[in-house]
Chain A
């Protein structure tokens, strides 16, 4: 009997169904993007001949490189300091990952403008003293805001690597005659380098795919993601040549980076030394104060969006003019009472996406890990494909695949939910399968031997064991779906605005106060489940999966 193609097994047909679904909603859109880029004469010759395309690609690569370096320069020292030292105010820094996770990029971009834009709070403050700050639009704003959002990805990975780094190695090097500083460099750098590089490459791909900040702060700087979005908006789904070509370029770039990442991780595996990390030592005196100050500044800058969104939400505004210092509840009232549709839409779509995404990834991971057959490796491969798609690219893929034809989804809510589900699928899958690998086969066999049929075993034994991981994945899927902007802005239709879309549109018309109210509500919607998960259910949210907050 061939277990790999057992046509009598329910699991076999389930895996066939999963393959069909993943093919239609993940592979088929990509195929469409690539084929469209060659149709009707193709966009490739234009990209090669017209200067602005080359310029945009070069700008995007340059921006990604600069931000990546900046994030490493901020993230690694901060990680080292928090992993190895105790100093006043350290507990604040522990919340860092939370901060970037909960602040959607569109809000971050908005609040940076509220502070440092042409009419920003800080800009005006300095102007009163005759100091003219450089314009925040363009390279300065892009690099600053992206750095203070993305450095966390370098920081989180590096903290983990340094904490797991065996302090005895350092001592051993010292005992062999190296000075402490040299010993540290010599032994620690090669060990934590893979973690840093992985984080840095993640930042690189996120900058390439970044939509919200790029379009809001980019202004004169032509960027690939913005140009792709504009092409998609102007072409629509009918003759999508340019958008597909640009999307293909971004897929290519991300694939190259992912490939490098994989190569580094594979090499790094041999270098990871598991051991007890050094306990943090206390920092006192001037050094302690300086380090605490530096770390505090980083935290404060990360917190800036949070603070200004709160201020903005309760500040009275007449049109685009903020009347700083006068307070009102009007803005919040509009979000909840006068025009609650975006809020309701966000809750419904993200809720649906969370339920569908988590159920799907649970069942599919179960098949991949426990019910292997000829098809399951394919499911495994396809499930990571969305990692190579930025939100804009995915949005384009969905539009050109489903705007007419055999499955017309555009204009319905389902295409928004679909975009959410596909974007978060890799994270849900990774979460579910890493727990499943920890469920020994004998547990299931024990249940079956006690008379429970396989399906009942799955429900009664496997699911409860997966429950904590599923719940954590659900919270993370929820938070990232609620904040999603770049794919949904392409696929949504009138009346189906979500909160991030609403904020984006308000920013366009410079209605900062109303936008802040939407932003504060959005942060609340994101924060609430996280708080409940951490406080009530004591979940370790940041240990599982990799949180991503780009919108």
Chain B
């Protein structure tokens, strides 16, 4: 079931928390809402669920307008950050709850519940109360409970944020498997960029009640549409630059310090004032400053070195006092030391110019 949202506005009083939002999520997609705290992710999710009324705009599930439909008739499955299990009911009864509300009884009910529980490896826990489960087990019960009713839409609000790092990975995989298997249209809210990149078919990056960019994880990461997206998804060096009058609008000439290069450009940049976005891992580093013609190489000195196993993260201070983050992988990535004079090289193919 696809979800189409048009012209949506939501407010809790005076000011709009969400203003004029359009969004389309294709059938069977795993869609992630990513954004900083307070940007309105939960609000949007709860509006889709029907817990928060829309002030303006329409929400469609497939062709059906659900904007005015009460939550319990929307046929959704929902997974909450705090699990929201019914504490006085057993694991079995928790999972059976939605089926009972749909009039399912007897052996069919039992069969479906047990299948759902076994799917999340919780068959033997059927008669426990939630209080006697670990955090990961609780979240798996919550998943089984939401999925057993085979909802049209699955909504999840930071379901992993109460779990520790290792469990988070495990449950993440469980969610992905179950979602792929059932091909349920899923909206997943998180403020963890790694989670969103690894799990999603598509990501919507939200900021202040608006969606800044929608795209596949790769698009979001490699070609962020705004500096906000570039900053929020992955680390980015941002360098203010002036654009030259190049013939090719998509490959403008940028100049900063002694460096002149033809960067990529995602959209028109007004006034020729732009920001050059450089991912730390896209930068290279050499021992000696090479001045001969290599215009895309910047001299500087290492001021911080953090060895991280698979890579080493450096901070390099350039001649003009600005600081670049550089991540090195591959052999001898830890070969530079603090204080050392180096030259940072920029690959024009990976350099992106955005509007300021």
A contact residues vs B (CB 8 Å cutoff): 1, 3, 440, 442-443, 445-454, 456-457, 460-461, 464-465, 467
Contact = CB atoms under 8 A, between A and B. Distances in A.
Q: Which 4 A/B pairs are nearest by Cβ-Cβ distance? A: A450-B98, A442-B84, A449-B78, A446-B84
A450 B149 contact: yes
B72 A442 contact: no
Interface stretch (B16-24, B49-57, B222-230, B254-262): B49-57
Nearest to B142: A446
A442 B145 CA distance: 14
Given A442-B84, A445-B51, A449-B49, 18 more contacts: A440-B82, A440-B84, A443-B85, A443-B87, A446-B78, A446-B145, A449-B74, A449-B77, A449-B146, A449-B155, A450-B77, A450-B98, A451-B73, A451-B75, A452-B72, A454-B70, A454-B72, A464-B88
A450 B101 contact: yes
B49 A451 contact: no
B112 to A, nearest CB: 13
Nearest to A445: B51
A268 to B, nearest CB: 30
A1 B77 CA distance: 26
Interface in B37-88: 46, 49, 51, 53, 55, 70-78, 80-82, 84-88
A456 B72 CA distance: 11
Nearest to A464: B88
Query: Secondary structure at chain A's binding surface: helix, strand, loop or mixed?
Result: helix
B71 to A, nearest CB: 5
Contacts of A442: 80-82, 84
B52 to A, nearest CB: 10
B97 interface: yes
Contacts of A461: 86
Interface in B187-238: none
Nearest to B94: A446
Contact of A451 (B55, B72, B81, B84): B72
Contact of A449 (B76, B82, B87, B89): B76
Contacts of A465: 86-88
B89 to A, nearest CB: 8
Interface of B: 46, 49, 51, 53, 55, 70-78, 80-82, 84-89, 97-98, 101-102, 142, 145-146, 149, 155
Nearest to A467: B88
B342 to A, nearest CB: 52
A3 B51 CA distance: 12
A327 B236 CA distance: 95
B139 to A, nearest CB: 13
A450 B80 contact: no
B253 to A, nearest CB: 53
26 contacts: A1-B53, A440-B82, A443-B85, A443-B87, A445-B46, A445-B78, A445-B84, A446-B80, A446-B145, A447-B97, A449-B74, A449-B78, A450-B72, A450-B146, A450-B149, A451-B75, A451-B98, A452-B72, A452-B97, A452-B101, A453-B72, A454-B70, A464-B88, A465-B86, A465-B87, A465-B88
Interface hub of B51, B73, B142 (most chain A Cβ within 10 A):
B51
Contacts of A451: 72-73, 75, 98, 101-102, 149
A452 B101 CA distance: 6
A1 B13 CA distance: 9
A442 B155 CA distance: 13
A450 B145 contact: yes
B102 to A, nearest CB: 6
Contact of A448 (B55, B72, B102): B72
Contact of A445 (B49, B101, B142): B49
A454 B88 CA distance: 18
Contacts of B74: 449
Interface hub of B46, B51, B86, B102 (most chain A Cβ within 10 A):
B86
Contacts of B80: 442, 445-446
B127 to A, nearest CB: 17
A361 B53 CA distance: 29
Contacts of A464: 86, 88-89
Contacts of B89: 464
A453 B50 CA distance: 12
Contacts of B84: 440, 442-443, 445-446
Nearest to A454: B72
A453 to B, nearest CB: 5
A465 B87 CA distance: 7
A273 to B, nearest CB: 28
B14 to A, nearest CB: 11
Contacts of B98: 450-452
B258 to A, nearest CB: 57
Contacts of B46: 445
B120 to A, nearest CB: 16
A450 B74 CA distance: 9
A311 B74 CA distance: 68
Contacts of A3: 53
A461 B93 CA distance: 11
Contacts of A452: 72, 97-98, 101
A464 B72 CA distance: 20
Contacts of B102: 451
Contacts of B82: 440, 442
A180 to B, nearest CB: 41
Nearest to A4: B13
Contacts of A453: 70, 72
Contacts of B85: 443, 446
A474 B46 CA distance: 37
Nearest to B12: A3
A447 B71 contact: no
Interface hub of B53, B77, B80, B102 (most chain A Cβ within 10 A):
B80
A435 to B, nearest CB: 12
B55 A450 contact: no
A1 B57 CA distance: 13
Nearest to A452: B101
B103 to A, nearest CB: 10
Nearest to B54: A1
A449 B86 contact: no
Contacts of A460: 97
Given A442-B80, A442-B84, A448 B71 contact: yes
A454 B77 CA distance: 16
A520 to B, nearest CB: 38
A467 B149 CA distance: 28
B11 to A, nearest CB: 10
